[in-house]
Amino acid sequence: MFWLIVVALSSIYAVNCAFQFLRHRAIARGTGLPYMVFPVAEKNLLYQAIFDTRIVPYVVNSWLPHALADYINTNIYKCRWAVKDRMRKKYGGLYMVVTPGSLTCNVSDASVASQVCTARHTFPKPVQSYETLAMYGPNIVTTEKSQWSHHRRYTATSFNEKNNTLVWQESIRQVTEMLGHWVDQYSKDSSRSEFVLPDTREDILKLTLNVICGAGFGVNLPFKPAPQATTEDIEALFKDAQSPPAGYHATFRSVMEYMNRNVRSIFIANGLLSKWIPRSLLPFYATDFNAYDDLQNYLRAMVTAAAHDKSHASHNLLEEMVRSGQADRDKGRAAAQPNGAQVTGLTEEEILGNLYIFTIAGHETTAATLRYALVLLALHGDIQEELYREIREATRDEPLNPAEWDYTRVFPKLVAPLCVMLETLRLHPPVVSIPKWTDNSTASIDYQNQTYHIPPQVHVSLNVTSLHYAEEYWGSDAAMFKPWRWDQRNPKSVLAGNDNVEGLSGPGLEYKTVHKPVRGSYIPFSDGVRACLGKKFAQVEFAVVVAALFRDYSVELARTSEGEATEDVRRRAERAVQGSSSFLTLGMRDEVPLLFQKRSCSASPQSHG
């Protein structure tokens, strides 16, 4: 009887899959666009779990023909970056992907990407796909329509030049302390002039987490680990210590690291199962429950501290958000007395939700970009030397101590670090595809002088990697790391051909010192009104950290053994970069040891032409 039920249910499932596949294929054919078929939907949990292992991606990429590997990789988010723009070359800039569980319109054309990003109501965000990011409450990322406008009102104004000054100051403090820690921890000899860093991941993550805590939430943390975190004050609570404070299972940094790596299981445990099953019956999710509770308590502590600290205006993101909401609530209460007007401002749950998003987006993405940049610059010594000369030129008349650098004076001169960031984000975008959908209406797309109608309930995927690697927009060297393609002083750049074109200053490109690509071809910060709010926060942080590091140190690939040949060292680093995969963000899974060597200050700075 049992097996009869199993066979019956399996048959029903198979028939339903076949029916859904045929229905989706018919819809795809009706659009007039080329289409690709695949047997499994990308959101299939079993399919995702298989690719969460190391062995399956290894087998796909090492044993299968390249065309078949691309076909598989492009249909799983984790591995999509590896395909670059090869599916664009095969199917074009706009095509459908048909599976039994979904129908998706893939966008790899800049003009279409721009249309989709700017038509917010026609192509809204599929908020149902962002449930894992709404665990602590609705926020700027997980909402749409009027609810999104409400969140944007109280979050967008927090990102301003006063806050950027805080970012600048906190980034300098953190990178200075990080360098000091590296010298103390890893110096080879008493001269302290060089050291080998086994891996940058943990320390770079700590740096960016500390910056978002300081400039974002008003919690100023030392980089060097403390012996014990305590609950005596807000900064003691958040210290990176060996032991967590009383009442917590882990330190703040440990919780964030666990959340970043296990957000799916944490969501299953706390967002799904615990609604129906008591926690006591799910002992195998104990760590996920503890991490969720700890982070919630840490976030609440931040909100409480911000709400009660009225001694001064520090202009961090949290205080600005709380302050603007409180001001509107005061106005609302005043208005409510005569006519019952609604009190506005973000609720505590909404503030917690946005804090969670700021924390994730504010440190994970910047850390990944910094880590890539360090390895890429170690791989390209000529570019690193050019960067060094540019940094020396930009800081020629500035104090030797970076803590004395003025944000408004120095940041505009850090063109070279900005170019390095733009190029790193082009080759290694944190988010490799941006999801949209048509909701309940038919949407029109203009592509190659023809209008296509995309039916309701169809997902639209902006393939960021494909756009960033397309030779049509970037030239024949699109796959190469060439930061100076962005520099406005470089007339030989392919991008220089766009200099007289209007309307190309997309998100993150609002500088006269950089060339502009075709609108829609560069979207690491997305585009349109839903573009990343913290783009300049990240750029200020990245630019000054890179300037402080490379002004004083050169970085090379380190050998893991005395007999390792230079070519082997390079191949190992290149494999680590090319083996990148995505979870929340794109990142390298393997370690890349780096050799830092103190520079002589006698070098004469020059500007490149």
What is the structure's pLDDT at 60?
94
565-594 per-position pLDDT tens digit: 999 999 999 999 999 999 889 999 999 999
Tell me if 259 is assigned to some domain.
no
Mean pLDDT of 180-185: 94
pLDDT above 90 covers a percentage of the chain that reads: 67
Tell me the percentage of the chain whose pLDDT exceeds 70. Answer: 93
Asked whether residue 190 falls in the same domain as residue 48, the answer is no
pLDDT tens digit string along 187-204? 877 778 899 999 999 999
Q: Quote the mean pLDDT of the chain.
A: 90
Q: Does the pLDDT at position 543 exceed 80?
A: yes
Same structural domain, 325 and 363: yes
DSSP label at 274? G
Candidates 333, 357, 353, 352; CA nearest to 344 is 333
Distance CA 488, CA 392 (A): 19
Tell me the pairing of strands 443-447 and 226-228.
unpaired
Residue recorded with tokens 């504010």: 362
**Do both 155 and 120 map to the same domain?**
no
Distance CA 158, CA 325 (A): 11
Q: Is the dihedral of CA 573, 425, 417, 482 positive or negative?
A: positive
438-451 per-position pLDDT tens digit: 999 999 999 999 99
Tokens 């941006």 appear where?
Answer: 434
Cα–Cα dist 63/529, whole Å: 43
The beta strand positions in 69-175, using DSSP E, are 94-98, 103-107
pLDDT score, position 368: 96
> Are 378 and 488 found together in one domain?
yes
User: Is the residue at 245 inside a domain?
Assistant: no
User: Does one domain contain both 449 and 486?
Assistant: no
Q: Kindly report the CA angle at 200 between 195 and 202, in degrees rounded to 5?
A: 125
Distance CA 255, CA 205 (A): 13
**Do 514 and 488 touch, CB atoms closer than 8 A?**
yes
User: In this structure, are 151 and 42 located in the same domain?
Assistant: no
Q: How far is CA 276 from the centre of its chain?
A: 33
Least confident of 222-231, 324-333, 493-502: 324-333
In a domain, 552, yes or no: yes
Q: Are both 102 and 150 inside the same structural domain?
A: no
Residue 245 scores a pLDDT above 80? yes
Burial state string for 33-55 with b = 16 or more CB within 10 A and e = fewer than 16: bebbebebbbebeebeeebeeee
| Span 417-436, pLDDT tens digits | 999 999 999 999 999 999 99
Same structural domain, 353 and 417: yes
- Asked whether residue 389 falls in the same domain as residue 420, the answer is yes
Task: Provide mean pLDDT across the span 207-216.
Answer: 92
CB atoms within 10 A of CB 453: 12
Q: How is residue 508 written in tokens? A: 């993150």
Residue type, 258: Y
Give the pLDDT confidence score for residue 343 in this predicted structure. Answer: 52
**208 shares a domain with 77:** no
Helices (H), 135-251: 145-155, 161-186, 201-211, 217, 234-237
Q: Are 39 and 101 in contact (CB under 8 A)?
A: no
pLDDT digits (tens, 9 = 90+) for 131-165: 888 999 999 999 999 999 999 999 998 899 999 99
Inform me whether the pLDDT recorded for 269 exceeds 90.
Answer: no
Identify the CATH number of the domain in which residue 419 sits.
1.10.630.10
Q: Report if residue 453 sits inside a domain.
A: yes
Residue 291 lies in a domain: no
Residue type for 609, please? G
Residues 28 and 110 in one domain: yes
Confidence of residue 231 (pLDDT cuts 50, 70, 90): low
Confidence (pLDDT) at 271: 78
Distance of CA 530 to the CA centre of its chain: 15
Tell me which residue has tokens 């978002």.
Answer: 212
Q: Which residues pair with 226 in a beta bridge?
A: 241
Establish if 331 belongs to a structural domain.
yes
pLDDT classification of 10: cutoffs 50, 70, 90: confident
Q: Which helix (H) or strand (E) holds 452?
A: strand 450-454
- Residue 378 within a domain: yes
**Per-residue confidence at 230, pLDDT binned at 50, 70, 90?**
low
Whether 562 maps to a domain, the answer reads yes
Per residue in 119-133, pLDDT tens? 999 999 999 888 888
Report pLDDT digits (tens) over 291-342: 999 999 999 988 888 777 665 566 788 888 887 766 666 665 544 444 444 5
Q: Say yes or no: 367 and 454 in one domain.
A: no
Helix axes 348-379 and 566-578, enclosed angle (nearest 10) = 150
Give residue-wise pLDDT tens across range 374-401: 999 999 999 999 999 999 999 999 999 9
Structural domain harbouring 75: 22-131+442-465
What is the tally of structural domains in the chain? 2
Length of the chain: 609
- Residues paired with 462 in a beta bridge: 107, 434
pLDDT at residue 606, rounded to an integer: 42
Task: For residue 54, name the pLDDT band (cuts at 50, 70, 90).
Answer: confident
Query: What does the pLDDT read at residue 607?
Result: 41
